[in-house]
């Protein structure tokens, strides 16, 4: 008997166990959830797509020709056989063929495995592993072939002796696993068959009636049928069930996190009449949008309770999230607690500091003569601050003098201690991990957890929100403030100098009418690592215009008479701030920058953005970038310059961006175009996806169903003490190190 938690080593030899480990398979459960990439039907034939050169493949078919060929240069002969798998012809060559020649005769059914090569469009395998498949009538006891056949044969006889009927070649469908040169598909299959023979019936996490109502197989059936299907329907049904299990495992972890979070204590912050929040509302030069009112109310409901808020605020670029967060932070300050506003870059932190100070005016001048009654103090804390200023800020934070502390990662440092932290706002959340959230979570007074609000303008499709952000409640801000001018976007081919000249003319016109312009490039272009330079030499696609090149070109060209500055991540923070300050004040006409301006930067007088090599950026990223213009009363213009082929995927993406201003729609397109693995990959910081069956894009219904079930179970039994099989399922699918990707939200 074997259990899913066991190492495969309890049943299998060292070499196989090591081979499996090379595929990241370290438990029996992982082995059984390792899905075949494709299946071959015995009898009729595999409809698979074209094989890739270099791919390890297994072919089952009938020999149509077999011929000894003398080598011209060298002494000796080789055997060439042609195998027809009903779909295509595959040639195989064997050196030193004397011993095998007799077995590989026309008419024999064989299985060949080796690396694919192409010669004149013809698939070739040289010196593949081989086995002759017994035809059933004859002496079925003996399989002739190379090591593979011997292995298959041994597995078959051993399993037969133990009373299991699993003779490999008799099965109607043969699974083919993603293999490597370290471990072959048939070795994996043999391992699976041995394990299944020893696996006791598996308990099911799903209640029978519930499961049947959804037409799902039992867990036990699914784990067996995925490897030993009798029909195509078996395969589909098994996949559906295993997919559900993956969704359930993820949703269970997220529900645990969510519900555990709700059980912590925070400070309740009801509205305070006549507080700073009310005073700011009175002073605003504009009305809140309906969307802003709604979201402030939603957040307010959370804040009024002692259960810690964990809320994601997603809102279109320019929808006014900063103000929403400011109003809710003031509510917390009105209740006598402090707030943190954390930004991903120094540029953005500094900007938040400036805008919030100017919005609040004398309401933020505590300690100064001009302060309004009940005023608070805003502190800015970034990594590059000079020691002296920093010391004062830290003092303001620890004494509680500062009601709102704005900063970057520097806020996470241990020496930053708060007097009484009540709420944390993280702007542009996708740059922060959960560990960092947790650091701030622990900084409350007397073990009290601060409320948590994360804001992002990169809309997250529903399915991803349910997984990666599944521990957060969500608010959405779609509406833009009234009077906002739409941004018009146009794709401009860089190949045509006529068009490009027109772009710079247009920029000059914009500046002449008093506006400002961003020019965005895909790389900096200072002498970066040599490695990078070499890559650029090797790959013409990477030959892009850098910030430095562009700056030179514009300064010495038609725009030379204007004030042009550069902005990029490798500049000292002081310089960056200096440039941004002057751009904000209207003293700089053109900023040539990298994507450092991607998030949050708010200069309403900037109305035009030129994105060079636009095809180097993702769809959502382009949408973010262009959100920097058209933020004031003037219409925004975004020009996407590209060398992309007019009929290419890249061009399609750019046209999609030009054709829509709906960030949610664009996020969906983005997700469709990136491969699933990339999406998971970006969430899990480089690790390999452990999901084999579930698709974040296509399986919204499964995810929603699993989420509901998980919520129900976890709300009754948080530690899963009475739900052992579910706890095992979670561990099996999301081994501790693999849960990490859920954290990279």
State the residues that interact with ligand ADP by CB under 6 A.
286-289, 292, 315, 317-323, 457, 481, 600, 602, 604, 631
Report the DSSP beta bridge partners of residue 112: 59, 130
Q: What is the DSSP string of 230-256?
A: SSHHHHHHHHHHHHHHHHHHHHHHHHH
CB 511, min distance to ligand ADP, A: 21
CB of 454 to Mg ion, least distance (A): 12
481 interface partner picked from ligand ADP, Mg ion, none, CB below 5 to 8 A per type: ligand ADP
**Residue 122 in contact with residue 95, Cβ under 8 Å?**
no
Task: Choose among ligand ADP, Mg ion, none what residue 318 binds, the Cβ cut-off being 5 to 8 Å by kind.
Answer: ligand ADP
Cα angle 715, 721, 723; round to 5: 75
Closest approach of Cβ 319 to Mg ion, in Å?
A: 9
Residues in 542-601 that interact with Mg ion by CB under 5 A: 600
CB atoms within 10 A of CB 718: 13
The one of ligand ADP, Mg ion, none whose footprint includes residue 319, by CB under 5 to 8 A per kind, is: ligand ADP
Bridge partners, 116 (sequence order) = 125
What distance in Å separates the CA atoms of residue 154 and residue 95, rounded to the nearest whole number?
Answer: 26
Q: How far is the CB of 427 from Mg ion (least distance, A)?
A: 6
Residue 321 Cβ vs Mg ion, minimum distance, rounded to whole Å: 5
Is the C-alpha dihedral spanning 693, 697, 702, 704 positive or negative?
Answer: positive
Q: How far is the CB of 280 from ligand ADP (least distance, A)?
A: 12
First to last CA, the chain: 40
Question: CB 348 → Mg ion: shortest distance, Å?
Answer: 8
Distance CA 74, CA 320 (A): 78
| Interface map 599-638 toward Mg ion (x if CB under 5 A) | -x--------------------------------------
By a kind-dependent CB cut-off of 5 to 8 A, residue 602 interacts, out of Mg ion, ligand ADP, none, with: ligand ADP
Encoded tokens for 561? 């008479």
Shortest distance, position 313 Cβ to Mg ion, whole Å: 10
Residue 631 interaction partner, one of ligand ADP, Mg ion, none, beta carbon < 5-8 Å per kind? ligand ADP
Which one of ligand ADP, Mg ion, none is in contact with 8 (Cβ closer than 5 to 8 A by kind)?
none
Residue of closest CB approach to ligand ADP: 320
To the nearest 10 degrees (0 to 180), the angle between helices 290-303 and 321-334 is 30
Q: Which does 467 bind (CB under 5 to 8 A by kind): Mg ion, ligand ADP, none?
A: none
**Closest CB 297 distance from ligand ADP, rounded Å:** 15
Residues that bind Mg ion (rule: CB under 5 A) add up to a total of 1
Smallest separation (angstroms) from ligand ADP to the CB of 352? 9
Of 289 and 376, which has the nearer Cβ to ligand ADP? 289
Shortest gap between Cβ of 598 and Mg ion (angstroms)? 11
Cβ-contact 227, 192 below 8 angstroms? yes
| Residue in the shown chain whose Cβ atom is closest to Mg ion | 600
Which lies closer to ligand ADP via its Cβ, residue 17 or residue 322?
322
Q: One symbol per residue from 234 to 253: x for binding Mg ion (CB under 5 A), - otherwise; what is it?
A: --------------------
C-beta of 308 vs 600, nearer to Mg ion: 600
Q: How far is CA 629 from CA 453, 559, 597, in A?
A: 26, 20, 11
Residue 504 or 664: the one with the smaller Cβ distance to ligand ADP is 664
Of 349 and 706, nearer to ligand ADP (C-beta) is 349
415 CB-contact burial (10 Å; exposed 0-12 / middle 13-18 / buried 19+) = exposed
CB closer to ligand ADP out of 9 and 604: 604
Tokens (6 digits) for 118: 């192409």
Strand-strand pairing, 38-41 and 173-176: antiparallel
In this structure, which long-range contacts are made by residues 556-559, counting pairs with CB atoms below 8 Å and at least 24 apart in sequence? 557/504, 558/501, 558/504, 558/505, 558/508, 559/504, 559/507, 559/508, 559/511, 559/589, 559/590
Q: Nearer Cβ to ligand ADP, position 537 or 633?
A: 633
318 binds Mg ion (CB under 5 A): no
Which residue lies nearer to Mg ion by CB, 600 or 663? 600
Judged by beta carbon, residue 151 or residue 598, the one nearer ligand ADP is 598
Residues 6 or more apart whose CB falls under 8 angstroms from that of 506 comprise: 608, 637, 639
The secondary structure of 689-714, three-state, reads CCCCCCCCCCCHHHHHHHHHHHHHHH
Give the nearer residue to ligand ADP in terms of CB position, either 128 or 627. Answer: 627
Q: Report yes or no: 613 and 625 within 8 Å, Cβ to Cβ.
A: no
Interacting positions 400-459 with Mg ion (CB under 5 A): none
Q: Which residues bind Mg ion (CB under 5 A)?
A: 600
């Amino acid at each position: 008997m074997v259990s899913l938690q066991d190492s495969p080593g309890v049943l299998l030899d060292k070499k196989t166990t090591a081979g499996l480990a090379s595929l990241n398979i370290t438990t029996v459960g992982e082995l059984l959830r390792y899905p075949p990439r494709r299946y071959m039907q015995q009898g009729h034939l595999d409809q698979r797509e074209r094989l890739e050169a270099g791919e390890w493949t297994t072919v089952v078919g009938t020999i149509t020709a077999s011929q000894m060929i003398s080598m011209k240069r060298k002494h000796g002969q080789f055997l060439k056989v042609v195998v027809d798998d009903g779909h295509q012809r595959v040639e195989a060559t064997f050196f030193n063929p004397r011993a095998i020649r007799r077995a590989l005769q026309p008419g024999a059914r064989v299985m060949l495995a080796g690396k694919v090569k192409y010669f004149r469009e013809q698939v070739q395998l040289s010196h593949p592993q081989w086995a002759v498949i017994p035809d059933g009538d004859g002496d079925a006891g003996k399989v002739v072939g190379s090591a593979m056949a011997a292995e298959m044969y041994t597995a078959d006889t051993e399993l037969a002796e133990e009373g299991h009927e699993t003779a490999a070649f008799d099965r109607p469908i043969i699974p083919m696993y993603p293999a490597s040169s370290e471990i072959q598909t048939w070795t994996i299959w043999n391992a699976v068959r041995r394990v299944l023979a020893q696996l006791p019936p598996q308990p099911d996490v799903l209640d029978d009636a519930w499961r049947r109502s959804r037409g799902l197989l039992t867990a036990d059936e699914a784990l067996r049928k995925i490897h030993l299907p009798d029909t195509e329907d078996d395969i589909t049904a098994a996949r559906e069930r295993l997919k559900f299990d993956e969704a359930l495992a993820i949703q269970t972890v997220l529900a645990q996190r969510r519900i555990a979070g709700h059980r912590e204590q925070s400070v309740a912050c009801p509205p305070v009449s006549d507080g700073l929040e009310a005073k700011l509302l009175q002073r605003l030069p504009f009305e809140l949008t309906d969307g802003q009112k709604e979201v402030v109310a939603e957040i307010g409901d959370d804040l009024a309770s002692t259960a810690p808020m964990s809320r994601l605020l997603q809102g279109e670029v320019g929808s006014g999230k900063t103000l929403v967060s400011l109003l809710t932070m003031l509510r917390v300050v009105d209740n006598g607690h402090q707030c943190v506003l954390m930004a991903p870059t120094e540029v953005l932190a500094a900007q938040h500091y400036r805008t919030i100070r100017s919005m609040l005016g004398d309401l933020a001048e505590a300690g100064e003569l001009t302060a309004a009654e009940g005023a608070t103090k805003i502190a800015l804390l970034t990594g590059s601050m000079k020691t002296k200023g920093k010391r004062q800020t830290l003092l303001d934070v620890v004494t509680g003098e500062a009601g709102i502390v704005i900063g970057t990662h520097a806020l996470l440092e241990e020496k930053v201690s708060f007097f009484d932290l009540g709420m944390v706002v993280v702007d542009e959340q996708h740059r922060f991990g959960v560990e960092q959230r947790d650091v701030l979570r622990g900084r409350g007074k007397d073990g009290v957890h601060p409320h948590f609000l994360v804001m992002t303008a990169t809309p997250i499709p529903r399915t991803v929100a349910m997984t990666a952000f599944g521990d957060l409640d969500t608010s959405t801000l779609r509406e833009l403030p009234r009077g906002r001018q739409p941004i018009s976007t146009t794709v401009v081919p860089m190949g045509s100098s006529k068009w490009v000249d027109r772009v710079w003319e247009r920029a000059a016109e914009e500046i002449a009418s008093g506006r400002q312009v961003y020019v965005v490039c895909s790389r900096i272009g200072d002498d970066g690592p040599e490695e990078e330079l070499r890559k650029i030499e090797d790959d013409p696609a990477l030959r892009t215009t850098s910030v430095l090149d562009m700056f030179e070109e514009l300064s010495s060209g038609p725009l030379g008479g204007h004030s042009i500055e550069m902005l990029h991540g490798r500049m000292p923070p002081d310089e960056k701030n200096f440039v941004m300050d002057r751009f904000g004040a209207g003293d700089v006409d053109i900023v040539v920058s990298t994507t450092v301006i991607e998030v949050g930067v708010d200069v309403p007088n900037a109305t035009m953005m030129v994105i060079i090599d636009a095809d180097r950026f993702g769809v959502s990223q382009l949408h973010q970038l262009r959100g920097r213009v058209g933020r004031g009363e003037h219409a925004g213009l975004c020009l996407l310059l590209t060398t992309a082929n007019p009929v290419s995927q890249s061009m399609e993406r750019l046209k999609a961006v030009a054709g829509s201003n709906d960030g949610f729609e664009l996020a969906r397109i983005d997700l469709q175009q990136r491969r699933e693995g990339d999406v998971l990959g970006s969430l899990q910081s480089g690790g390999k996806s452990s999901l084999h069956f579930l698709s974040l894009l296509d399986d919204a219904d499964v995810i929603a169903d699993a989420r509901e079930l998980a919520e129900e179970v976890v709300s009754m039994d948080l530690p899963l003490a009475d739900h052992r099989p579910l706890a095992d399922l979670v561990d099996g699918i999301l081994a501790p190190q693999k849960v990490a990707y859920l954290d990279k939200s």
